[in-house]
Homo-oligomer: A and B are copies of this chain.
Amino acid sequence: MLPHIRELSRRTPSKILFIVLDGVGGLPLEPGGPTELASAKTPNLDALAKKANLGRLTMVFPGVAPGSGPGHLSLFGYDPLIYEVGRGALSALGLGVELGPDDVAVRGNFATLNPDGTVADRRAGRPSTEENRRVLAKLKEQIKEIDGVKVELYTESEHRFVLVLRGAGLGADVHDTDPQKTGVPPLPARPHDESDEASARTADILNKFSEMARKALADEPKINGVLLRGVSKRPVWPTLGEITKLTPAAVASYPMYRGVASLVGMTALDVEIGDDPDAPQGKLKAIRDNWDAYDYFYLHFKKTDSTGEDGNFSEKVHKIEMFDELLPSLLELGPDVVAITGDHSTPSVMKAHSWHPVPFLLYGPNLRNDPAQRFTEDEAAKGVLGDLHGTHVLPLLLAHAGKLQKFGA
């Protein structure tokens, strides 16, 4: 699809505001009851929904609960089954760690090894994140460079950390050292292809790292080994600007979302966070201050997802209502096309991402009539846009903004 969009897109002065309420789709607390969206008092969203076109999005395929990375890539037009990000690179992005084109990122798990070197616990009893920091500090102190390659270590959470190698001539086609079971030793790191010298060099450095880590942690009772997975580089893809001729900006405060947006070539605007990491006012200010310089704004709100993950139905309702209060100020900016959706559903009753289709609202010129009255799961199911794939959002936004030319004569 993207090569065709590249062919058909054209630059125009119109502006697109694309709002993602993370994990906004939900489920009722009891069968037949209202969802979080249906429970929320949202006069501004309701008014917009009455004028807008609604539909529902599936980001990967039915039944698949997407992570934040694939969910957002789909919304940006990049099919997540084609545009894959390695686990190491995705974790680095999530922590806000910048990756250059030569750098290699690896997901590390702290593990418990038996005296004979076999794996006793692949997650070292799931230590606290604090405990992770304490132990990782030892490694950071003792391992700063291997064979001239700079080694950086970052705590992710619990048993998870990220290892970044910075140096020239490193490949990333390297097998995991995690054997995926206990009672056997960790696997040696080795390249997929023995003739790939760059990846062989990375494998060699990773084997040295594993050995050095074991020595450094020899006196630890539980966290005495590391398993390495998802050796990867930052992927290099055609940018949204190249494909669509848009000048896109990302307005997000959490590193993961700034990172995914930067992968497709968006400029991540500075956002003043203040006391609230979701920072609605800081985001509004960032958009206002940069309104003239960009023609596509991806605006992200996180708390609709985190409250869902916490299983806190009423707090998720509250976060939706908070967004509703902000909506008029966003509309006052005068975008030509506005869309609102989520990157996946996060029903409070499931305390997790889910596969359920996400409501999608589209407002702008050239709309059809639409019977949907509110931005809810039930009403979106009646919407005139029907059921779409997440990747269809991009061409629809471009089309309604007058930025997509006719295909063929």
- Which residues of A pack against B, CB within 8 Å? 1, 4, 8, 27-28, 31-33, 35, 51, 56, 60-70, 80-81, 85, 87, 90-91, 94, 347, 349-350, 352-357, 366-369, 377-378, 381, 384, 386-388, 392, 394-399, 404-409
Contacts and interface: CB of A to CB of B under 8 A. Distances in A.
B407 A70 contact: yes
Contacts of A384: 378, 381
**This protein's copies in its complex:** 2
Nearest to A354: B366
Contacts of A353: 406
Contacts of A394: 63
B31 A1 contact: no
B68 A409 contact: yes
Given A35-B369, A67-B409, A368-B377, 11 more contacts: A4-B61, A32-B369, A63-B398, A63-B399, A64-B399, A65-B406, A66-B408, A67-B406, A70-B407, A352-B406, A353-B406
- Chain A interface helix/strand/loop/mixed: loop
B350 A404 contact: no
Nearest to A3: B81
Contact of A408 (B69, B349, B377, B378): B69
Contacts of A392: 61-63
A63 B404 contact: yes
A60 B347 contact: no
B67 A395 contact: no
Contacts of A395: 61-64, 355
A352 B66 CA distance: 37
Contacts of A94: 409
Contacts of A64: 4, 8, 395, 399, 404, 407
List 6 tightest A-B contacts by C-beta distance, closest first. A63-B395, A67-B408, A63-B399, A70-B408, A62-B392, A63-B396
A354 B61 CA distance: 26
Contacts of A33: 369
A378 B369 contact: yes
Given A354-B366, A366-B350, A395-B64, A90 B408 contact: yes
With most chain B CB atoms within 10 A of its CB, the pick from A63, A69, A356, A392 is A63
